[in-house]
């Protein structure tokens, strides 16, 4: 079983800290470069929206990264949230 990250950051925070801030990029300028609305990018940066496959491709082109790296961060974050709710899920064991 693979080790899951404890409390992984939302990829929007990583995007802000590692891509926008070091380049002194405003949300408006970054959104323009990515070809998305300021509202769309802001939602990702603030953790209100996840990184879609298309956004991952856009980020990979803009910042010379891989789309997989962005999607992997999103999946790790989503899985961590789901695991936090594990005990509240009403699921019956099927396998022997």
What tens digit of pLDDT does each residue of 17-45 get?
999 999 999 999 999 999 999 999 999 99
- Torsion region of 70: left, alpha or beta (phi above 0 gives left; psi -120 to 50 gives alpha): alpha
d(CA 87, CA 44): 28
pTM to 2 decimals?
0.87
List CB contacts of 70: < 8 A, sequence separation 6 or more. 11, 51, 55, 56, 59, 60
Domain annotation for the chain: domains and CATH numbers: 11-88 (1.10.260.40)
Placement of tokens 């803009």 in the chain: 62
pLDDT in tens, 75-94: 999 999 999 999 999 999 99
Structure tokens that stand for 20 in this block: 């926008």
């Amino acid at each position: 079983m693979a080790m899951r990250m404890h409390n992984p950051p939302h990829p929007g925070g990583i995007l802000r800290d590692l891509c926008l801030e070091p380049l002194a990029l405003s949300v408006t300028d970054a959104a323009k470069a990515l070809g998305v609305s300021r509202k769309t990018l802001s939602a990702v940066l603030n953790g209100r929206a996840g990184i879609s496959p298309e956004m991952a491709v856009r980020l990979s082109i803009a910042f010379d990264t891989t789309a997989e790296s962005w999607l992997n961060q999103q999946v790790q974050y989503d899985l961590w949230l789901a695991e936090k709710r594990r005990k509240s899920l009403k699921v019956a064991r099927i396998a022997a």
